[in-house]
Amino acid sequence: MSEPVLVLNTGSSSIKYELINPRTRARSARGLVERIGQERGRLTHRAGDGPPYVREQPFPDHGEGLAAVLAAFSSAGPELDPVAVGHRVVHGGTRFGDAVLVDDEVIAAIEELAPLAPLHNPVNLTGIRLAQKVFPEVPQVAVFDTAFHRTLPPEAYTYAVPREWGVRRFGFHGTSCAYVSRRAAALLGRDDPNLIVLHLGNGAGATAVEGGRSVDTSMGLTPLEGLVMGTRSGDVDPALAGYLARAEGLDAEQVEHALSHRGGLLALAGSSDMREVRARSGDDDARLALAVYTRRIRKYVGAYYALLGRVDAVVFTGGVGENDPATRAESLTGLTRLGITLDPARNEAASHEERAVSPDGAEVAVLVIPTDEEGEIAHQTLALVTAS
């Protein structure tokens, strides 16, 4: 029996979607709406093995992007008849752990958490509301990025700030971390390995996984802290906000917006896209950007090695982690004494498969595992809908 689940991963300027059979993980359709809110948007829809259905036009907001997705299914198929819709929701706060069925109360809670993930939660809600309208009889399920990090111990999630602020570290990309951690365990043939997971996409984070559980992670209260990202600065001196207020007259919102949208690779190299930055690695700005990007990763690898004491594998995932051998090599240089080395030929071989890129018998395996956030969301969605 085919039981397709529609998965919506609504990002700050994009919508990724897939129609998946969660049991076989077979996709009958997948697509992407890019550059929402910009002058030139694009929708690419793939159904089966045929040529993609492409629309180049502006998509002023996520609502219009989603309407175009529905139109793509009508024009290019397949029939869009999901048994459930699974939504990626970035911030679940302390309220949400496992996936939940969406009702009015859940929507209100996701909305309340929006100030902690202003780039993500509001557009996640746009997806939920539209799907409710289009599929009123179909259960909607929210799967939270923060869920996998519920196991952080207090000493990892506590900031040394006044308690009455009620703030803490949450961590993100948990669905990706959970999936690649499970796959790493299978590849290593160990039940509950110790891992350093490096999810390097547009957003990027490092996570220390001990015995299969997240015990520390680089993203914090919001998805701005930690590694250098496409447009996000990652770690900076918190006094920067006060300095910019005094020196430039920026208010808190302007500082946060700049650190989120004008930071990272974009600030240093003029592009948030790693492929473009790599293509210009002859120029000084791009070289510095790459050095800052990979040095930050190396610092987190060292820190998490120290926390874990024993590491079975370093796992690379996300668009950069999966596809950029130079980032993997530069991030792990000088770590031979920790037992972390790469096999250059394995590292450089292009592949979309799960694989080890360290030498056979290495003390610490280095793995590349393509993430599957959508497959994981579909799986959790069907499990919840079937159980309820």
Ligand X SMILES: Nc1ncnc2c1ncn2[C@@H]1O[C@H](COP(=O)(O)OP(=O)(O)O)[C@@H](O)[C@H]1O
Ligand Y SMILES: CC(=O)OP(=O)(O)O
Q: Which residues bind ligand Y (CB under 6 A)?
A: 11, 90, 145, 172-173, 201-203, 223
**What are residue 77's phi and psi, to 5 degrees?**
70, 180
Of 81, 98, 104, 145, which one is the catalytic site residue? 145
Is 81 part of any known ligand binding site?
no
| Interaction between residue 226 and Mg ion (CB under 5 A) | no
Q: Which of residues 182-221 bind Mg ion (CB under 5 A)?
A: 201
Q: How far apart are CA 119 and CA 16, in angstroms?
A: 15
Q: Which two tokens stand for residue 131?
A: 């799907």
Beta carbon nearer to ligand X, 106 or 143: 143
Is 127 part of any known ligand binding site?
no
Among ligand X, Mg ion, ligand Y, none, what binds residue 124 when CB lies within 5 to 8 Å by partner kind? none
At position 285, the amino acid (one-letter code) is: D
CB of 145 to ligand Y, least distance (A): 5
**What are residue 143's phi and psi, to 5 degrees?**
-120, 125
Q: Residue number with the shortest CB distance to ligand Y? A: 203
Q: Which two tokens stand for residue 145?
A: 């990025």
Beta carbon nearer to ligand Y, 139 or 203: 203
CB of 202 to ligand Y, least distance (A): 5
Among Mg ion, ligand Y, ligand X, none, what binds residue 324 when CB lies within 5 to 8 Å by partner kind? ligand X
Is 273 part of any known ligand binding site?
yes
Beta carbon nearer to ligand Y, 119 or 184: 119
Is 202 part of any known ligand binding site?
yes
Q: Which two tokens stand for residue 191?
A: 């039940």
Classify the C-alpha dihedral 283-344-371-153 as positive or negative.
Answer: negative
Alpha helices in the chain (DSSP H): 62-76, 104-112, 121-134, 154-157, 174-188, 240-248, 252-261, 264-269, 274-279, 284-308, 318-323, 325-331, 344-348, 373-387
Is 373 part of any known ligand binding site?
yes
Active site residue 49: no
Laid out side by side, the sheet with 5-10 consists of 53-56, 42-47, 26-34, 15-21, 5-10, 84-89, 140-144, 100-101
CB of 278 to ligand X, least distance (A): 6
CB of 71 to Mg ion, least distance (A): 25
SS3 label, residue 216: strand
Beta carbon nearer to ligand Y, 317 or 381: 317
Q: Residue number with the shortest CB distance to ligand X? A: 319
Catalytic site positions: 145
Binding residues: 9, 16, 88, 199-203, 273-275, 319-323, 373
Binding residues for substrate: 88
